[in-house]
Structure 1
Amino acid sequence: MKNGFRRGLLAATLLAIGAGTDAEDIDLFVGVEPERGTDYPNVVILLDNTANWADDAQYFPDTKQGLAELGAIRTVIGALAPEGEDAKVNVGLMMLDKGSGQRFDGGYVRSHVKQMTKAARAELLAEIAEIESEFSTGGQVTTEVGYSRAMFEVFKYFGGHTSPANAYNDTAGSPVGPTHFGPWRYSGDDVFDRRDAAAFSDSRQTLYKPVVPATETCKSKNYLILIGNGWSPNGEDEVATLLKSVGGDAGQLYQTTSSKVRYGDEMARFLYQTDVSAAPGKQNVLTYAIDVHNRQPSEDHGRLLKSMAHAGGGKYFSATNADEIETALSTIFSEIQAVDSVFASVSLPASVNIRGTYRNQVYVGMFRPDANGLPRWVGNLKQYKLGLVDNALRLLDAEGEQAIDSSTGFIGECARSFWGPASVTQPAYWGNVNGAPVGGCLAVAGSAHADYPDGNVVEKGARATGFVPCAAVTHATSRAVRRRPVPN
């Protein structure tokens, strides 16, 4: 949600109140584009460059699957904006790294996150060409290198700020260091010529320049796209300790045998729940996963990546050829750039009842443009109310709590609008809908896929929960409300 609307909502509300008994409804049609690179979404592509990306047993069509992935990245990056124009998205590339001696396995920054201007796109495409040139001569690592440590490196690169427990109070984590909080590099050898020195603030490449600057206040969204090539046979018991060292939950998201315990999905959950940046407000990372395979898909690997995407607030894609990889990447970038837009109608009509007073309802019509540019948009109508908090006029939710997140200027993740449910009901409806949005309210257990609280998610709760069922739409649940068809 853009700051122009956030300020406009409350400003229009105050103007409406001050207009007196002759006040008319005020309709705000808002569509403000971000103007600075720090406003644009930050995307890190984490490419699995283990030996799996060149596995002959997969019989990948016409090429090695790693080369197909690099080709897909090249195509999608080149198409982020029309030729000669700058793209309004920041992108970087990370790859897996095998440590030696006392240095940990994990990931490294191959190309630092930067706005995809015309020149920057050319630089990234040149870097991809270099990776292709060294594909069979040293660009890959052993299959023992898993995803979880690389994702911890992602946490460090974004800023490594704090734990989920402090995600909402701007309290930095402590202690700081490579295995704890702060933007200190965790993995890899001290000297590594493939690492992008521009990602660091020191010549020894030990301290990152965080992806999200500490002075950032516009709260750009952050994303991780994992392109995975196969199951790592190496156990990760010590990663549980690493997660706990930064206040993460090492509890397994699904049951499996002890030899198959992996922490990539718990790391994705951690990135989604925590605050990675010292900038004001919670700034988390959403994880998308692309499972690349052909003749020999791994059930364990697919299950892990699905869990990573689900716990990380993103989506899972399966790709068995170059076209499907490109389609998955294009879909993800379309969704990332399909920022919520809002038509806001702030109405304070003169009351027609005998008391002659003003009502204090505030109605907000929310819409999100379709990621593929189609005319059918997700929408909802939500109601809040005006009230006094410490003698100051504020927008309140159905619980009487302040509805606005002070760090973002828009509806808070734990706010509950009127008309929707007042508690979490199980099974949570949105947990069974493909590609459904995930709520970020940690204060209400089990609410990630529920309509309560609806927070800042367009589809959830509010007036949409009262629609008449659509007979043409079927779903696995018995819920009567049908907002939109569910893709197969």
Structure 2
Amino acid sequence: MNKALTWINRCFFGLLALTLSGLASAEDIDIYIGNDTTNSSLPSALIVLDNTANWARQSQQWPGGLAQGQSEVRAIKSALANQVGKLNVGILEYTTDGNANQNGAYVRFALQELTADSYAELGVALDKIFTDVNDPEEKRSANTPYGNLMRDVYSYLSGGEQSFAGGGTLSALADPDGYTTQFSTFKSPLVAETICNDVNVIFISNPNQSGPTTDDVVNSNFLTQLYADAGGVLNNKLAGTSSGTPLDIPLLSTTTESSVTDIGFSSQCYKNNEVNQCTTNESQAGKLCDGISGCACSTSQSTTTGCSGGKKKLIVQSTTNSTVVTETGEFDSVSGGNWNFDDWAKFLHEYGVPVSYESEGGETLVARVNVNVHTLDVFNAQQDAAHSGLMMSASERVGGGNYYAATNEEELELGIGDALSNILSVSSTFAAVALPLNTTNRAQNENQVFIGMFRPDQQAKPRWFGNLKEYQLGFVNNAIELVDVNGDAAVSPLTGFAAECAASFWSADSSTYWEGLGISPSPMGQCQTSVTSPWSDLPDGPFVEKGGVAQVLRNSVIGDRNLKSVSGDALVAFNSTFAGAQGLGGIYEYIRGDQVGVDETAGDSNGRPSIHGDVIHSRPLPVNYGTADQTVIYYGANDGMLRAVQVTTDAGTGEQQAEELWGLIAPEHFGKLNRLYENLPKVAFPNQDADEDPVPEPKDYFFDGSIGQLVEYNSDDQVERAYIYPVMRRGGRMVYALDVTDPEQPELLWRRGCPFTASDSECDDGFEDIGQTWSTPKSMYVAGYGDTPLLAFGGGYDSCEDDDSATSSCTAGDKGNAVFVLNAETGEIVRTFVTDRAVVGDVSPVDIDFDGKVDYLYAADTGGNIWRINFVEVVDDLFEPLEEGDWDITKSAFTTGSSRKFMNAPSVLPYQGKVYLALGSGNRERPLESNYPYVDDIDDRFYAYLDYPAETTALDLDGSLMNNSTTAPNCDANRIFPGTEQRGWFMSFPGQGEQVVNPAVIAGGNVLFNTYKPGGAQIEACTRPLGLGTAYNMSLFNGSACGRVRSEQIDNGGMPIPPGLSTVTVTRPNCEGPACDETVTICIGCKGLEPTPIEPDLDMTRRRVYWKSDIDR
């Protein structure tokens, strides 16, 4: 959306959940969807009628005995009948009075809310058109260009002058509410309350017998000036001008498709030769064909029930014919220079119309409201190829809307209805919100910060933009901030997004690549200091689709991409032969990236614009290979790929280059790929119309989980062994193991789990109870188990957890109630430890005696329990390894009642033979106020306690041995140490819905964590509340503030990222020499992305947790 106020539609940076199951279950992405508190303005549909004489041309042989124009207004009236209260509607037409050159527009029905009264008024106007369709007052001459009609669409919406100062406007037909000065100056229908929704133009066209009429240079000059006023540059050739390149007009293929629907069997019995009599009878009032066009009896099916004498009841069917117009892939690159219609549509979509409004502080501001153009190409006997191509260009190619061909009244009504459905779907599904960078899923490797990104489709279609970008930490005004490739602050303090002028690493100037691709919202940059085109990938700013790995892929040699899949126990090339054998041959080039999907326009790069899908939960895993400044990032995207991207740094210049090494497509995901190509069915979200056809379905996921690792280095700090373990989260129930010791030649070690999400068919032995694989696998060497590495992870997530209920419906028989311990090299199950409820989060290994081997493994489940797996036993205060058969699991602690859920790993700190644990309860999959439809709050809490591994009695975390630190105690009060009577403390969150959504961090005697609570305030005029994120920082030992700021709201709202500690070396700008480098320990996520310095006040050797870091080297 091209408006300075609205950011959500450009960018989602995400550590977010996305199971969109039906229209009822909740997920954490729901905070970014219009559900609880949305802008009150309605979507707007401005219907533009081509009321030239072509709407009654006899040579079209319009069916049904009516003129085209009569069917058009009747279809409008019918399509709007059920939309009262749902949208604003207006109608513009050509003026019909004055001289032939006065070919502008007038307001027939001012844009206004469609109420019962206004629908009745509109009906009067439409009925008059129907009756007087051939009256000179209702139509103008056939050979009329479209340029000034579209100019006045802009002028009406912006409140400007009519093209001919009102000339040609009939006062008897014009709506005076559409003007400030009748009829020379339009009155804009857009005010502050309506600027937050796009305007959608539905252009109903009637082709001229000789094709589109050429526009004049006056119209071209006006459009050129608008580009200049908006700070843009017009590169397209317009009518009557000599510079620029015309917009391509697509060449089309038109076919008719028929579909037959069985209605039922006839009420009477007939012989085969009595089909016509059957049809006549069934067309009577109250019979099956009553009111249904194309309805008839057929002998294709029959039943003899209730019949005799050789007669039978015949099947009654309705046959629907639809006209399908598709692009051939070829273009007319010359003729478009004569017609400005699609150039206007392109400008309206990409630059919008300016609307003034007043800020809360009284300041007059200007927003540019985006306009999407939908076209209906109405013809029957005489389709005009150039006209159809122009309509296709103006809508799907550059106007952000849809193209519809209609050859009868039924298709007209279906086209208008579908356009309205899309308009309403966008409004009800995605309210305009401002998403802060605080929800970023980021990973660090040395001084490299990798950020996965996504942006939902505005129409709730399944193909979403995504990307992976790199930033760094640097000094800005003597404080450490996230910076871009130029060392400038990467995050805008006003929005919480990447700043407009921020340039991520690897992004390069691509000239005007993003112009004219019909993408909504418009990817036009707003950086005022950039010397590149606003349509370039540089700077990429807050646009997900620009720059980063996505641009690297688009610019690569697509045919050389190294794509892989699995056959048997090995990786194989995912080439055309393999794809064809899997039934994917028809979309192989789409999967590879050089063929666009349905509804997508190709750019001028090698790869399609959407070549990189959304990165939502897959946390990027960087591995430093220790040679030639080589880092490889492994991550999953929901375009189907698990990717390996290599980043190399030139030792001399410091310049970085990125390239994709390979992409892996899992066989478990083959069945999901065609939906991405077709871009249907839509994704099911709250507030969506469940009657939509095709019915919306949950979003598909692929390798959407985070990746475990086993990486070992030799004495030269070079990788000696590197295994990675990707999981799928809601994308499936599998765990993969890949040997990436040579990152360019990956090998499949093993894969385990169940290939089907909803079925246990073909599960590997011992994995029948595995759930969706949410838990990041943790590799470890275990005390007493020799040199064989093991892999541990939680049993996973079960969809029973999705219910909006204070009391869970999950049982011991549901999936995920276990901790799996596998041989990390072979994937064989070593042990499975059963838990009461699902272990969704990561597990936490502990090396309690610091000998390099794991002694204990902690896990938390969704029933509010914490478990300890014992690999050692305590004998005379020594930790003696147990035989594998003697390993056991003990409940370490539990919460009272069944409502609290633990969905994150406990943060652990071994200390004097004991272990401090800290974690909070919550359910990030239920982030909305509407997810709490009950009176009594769950009362989520944060807990910190000291576990005694030698004990077998579980601690009641809400019992008498726990101090209530909801009100901050004094600094030295009731501190928990080994030997004290009390065992820990808890803190309640009084607000309904406030919950802990991420793991905590223990640092320097402090515990730091974040909560999320629904609600909050709007950030800007076109935003809705994203919820409140709060950062907590308190003593691990008693929950006191003790010189700290105990809680602080995180700026800009949204679900916070998990806190993470990093020690990095940062170079001060404009400084040379060793003294310029400063090594600091910081926490990113302790307060959003604002780096927080950490100065531990405990001996760091006491803080060692086995392989606590999830980012290697």
Q: 2:376·2:405 contact (CA, 8 Å) conserved in 1?
A: yes
Q: CA deviation at 1:442?
A: 5.5
Query: Residue 276 of structure 1 aligns with which residue?
Result: 353
The match for 1:253 is 247
Given the alignment of the two structures, is residue 330 of structure 1 paired with residue 330 of structure 2, yes or no? no
Aligned to 1:267: 344
Amino acid at match of 1:43: A
Q: Indicate how the Cα distance of structure 1 residues 269 and 110 shifts in structure 2: closer, same or farther if over 3 A, else same.
A: same
2:81 to 78, 81, 85: 78
Q: 1:479 to 1:328 in 2, by over 3 A?
A: same
Paired residue type of 2:132: E
- Structure 1 CA distance for aligned equivalents of residues 534 and 6 of structure 2: 32
SS of the equivalent of 1:113 reads strand
Q: Which residue of 2 aligns with 1:166?
A: none
Return 383-392 or 297-306, whichever deviates more: 383-392
Corresponding position: 1:220 with 2:197:
yes
Structure 2 CA distance for partners of 1:365 and 1:116, relative to 1, 3 Å: same
* Inter-partner Cα distance in structure 2 for 1:298 and 1:101: 27
More helix by share: 1
Change (3 A) 1:28 1:326: closer
Letter of the 1:253 partner, please give it.
L
Which of 47, 57, 60 in structure 1 is aligned with 2:59?
57
Question: 2:42 is matched with which residue: 40, 43, 47?
Answer: 40
**Residue matched to 2:376:** 290
Question: Is the Cα contact below 8 Å between 1:143 and 1:233 reproduced in 2?
Answer: no
What letter corresponds to residue 142 of structure 1 in structure 2?
A: S
Counterpart CA distance in 2 for 1:270 and 1:51 is: 28
3-state SS in 1 of match to 2:186: coil
Equivalent residues in 2 for 1:28-427, closer than 5 Å:
29-33=31-35, 39-62=41-64, 63-80=66-83, 86-87=85-86, 89-101=87-99, 104-138=102-136, 139-159=138-158, 178=162, 186-189=165-168, 191-202=170-181, 204-213=182-191, 215=192, 218-231=195-208, 234-238=213-217, 239-247=219-227, 249=234, 250=238, 251=244, 252-254=246-248, 255-256=333-334, 261-279=338-356, 280-309=366-395, 310-339=397-426, 340=430, 346=438, 366-368=455-457, 378=464, 380=466, 422-424=508-510
Classify 1:389/1:317 alpha carbon distance in 2 versus 1 (closer, same or farther; 3 Å): farther
Task: Give unpaired runs (5+ residues) of structure 2.
Answer: 16-27, 229-233, 239-243, 249-332, 357-365, 527-531, 554-560, 565-573, 596-605, 613-638, 640-675, 681-1113
- Aligned equivalent of 1:440: 523
Cα distance per residue 1:112-139 (max 9 Å; x no partner): 1112234333332332222212223342
What RMSD, in angstroms, separates the aligned Cα atoms of the two structures?
4.9
C-alpha distance 479-262 of structure 1, shift in aligned 2 (>3 A): closer
Shift in Å, 1:51: 0.9
1:193-237 Cα shifts (integer Å, max 9, x gaps): 1111111234x3333221222x45853212222111113664322
1:290 is displaced (CA, Å) by: 1.6
Aligned 8 A contact 1:72 1:329 in 2:
yes
The whole-number CA distance in structure 1 between the counterparts of 2:39 and 2:502 is 31
Structure 1 residues 154 and 68, CA, compared in 2 at 3 Å: closer, same or farther?
same
Distance 1:429 1:273 in 2: 8
Alpha-carbon shift at residue 69 of structure 1 (Å): 1.6
Deviation, structure 1 residue 271 = 2.1
Q: Is the 8 A contact 2:106 2:174 kept in 1?
A: yes
Kindly indicate whether the alpha-carbon contact (under 8 Å) linking 1:335 and 1:371 is maintained by their aligned counterparts in 2: no
Matched residue type, 1:236: D
Evaluate the alpha carbon distance shift between residue 219 and residue 4 of structure 1 in structure 2; reply closer, same or farther with a 3 A threshold.
Answer: closer
Structure 1 gaps of 5+ residues are: 14-25, 162-176, 180-184
TM-score scaled by length of structure 1:
0.70
When residues 143 and 117 of structure 1 are mapped into structure 2, their CA distance, relative to the original with a 3 A threshold, is same
Aligned partner letter, 1:200: Y
Aligned to 1:167: none
Q: Distance in 1 between matches of 2:184 and 2:515?
A: 45
Are the equivalent residues in 1 in contact too, given 2:91–2:107 (CA < 8 A)? yes
| Displacement after TM superposition at 1:421 (Å) | 5.5
Other structure's SS at 2:197 match:
coil
Deviating more after overlay: 237-246 vs 125-134: 237-246
> Which one is further off, 216-225 or 378-387?
378-387
Read off the aligned partner of 1:105 and give its amino acid letter.
Answer: N
Q: Residues 296-339 of structure 1, C-alpha deviation per residue, up to 9 Å, x if partnerless?
A: 11122112222222232323222222222222222222222333
Distance 1:113 1:209 in 2: 10
SS of 2:247's partner is coil
- Corresponding residue for 2:677? 485
Greater alpha carbon shift after TM alignment, 300-309 vs 387-396:
387-396
Q: 1:68 to 1:118 in 2, by over 3 A?
A: same
Return 436-445 or 44-53, whichever deviates more.
436-445
Q: 2: distance between equivalents of 1:313 and 1:430?
A: 9
Distance 1:125 1:295, change over 3 A: same
User: Is residue 221–residue 285 contact of structure 1 (8 Å, CA) maintained in 2?
Assistant: yes
Counterpart-to-counterpart distance in 1, 2:481 and 2:510: 26
From the superposition, tell whether residues 321 and 28 of structure 1 become closer, same or farther in structure 2 (CA, over 3 Å): closer
Distance 2:457 2:538 in 1: 17
CA distance in 1, matches of 2:54, 2:499: 39
Q: Distance in 1 between matches of 2:374 and 2:354?
A: 20
Q: Evaluate the alpha carbon distance shift between residue 136 and residue 256 of structure 1 in structure 2; reply closer, same or farther with a 3 A threshold.
A: same
Q: Percent of aligned positions with the same letter in both sequences?
A: 22
Rg larger in 1 or in 2?
2
Specify which structure has the higher proportion of strand.
2
Distance 1:442 1:156 in 2: 24
CA contact (8 A) 1:347 1:362 kept: no
CA deviations on 1:233-279 (whole Å, 9 max, x unpaired) are 64322322333454464343244369x82221222223234342232
For residues 401 and 269 of structure 1, what CA distance do their matches in structure 2 show?
Answer: 33
What's the CA shift for 1:104?
2.3
CA distance in 1 between counterparts of 2:384 and 2:493 reads 42
* C-alpha distance 156-387 of structure 1, shift in aligned 2 (>3 A): farther
Work out whether residues 46 and 226 of structure 1, in 8 Å CA contact, stay in contact via their aligned partners in 2: yes
Instruction: State the distance in 2 between where 1:80 and 1:387 align.
Output: 53
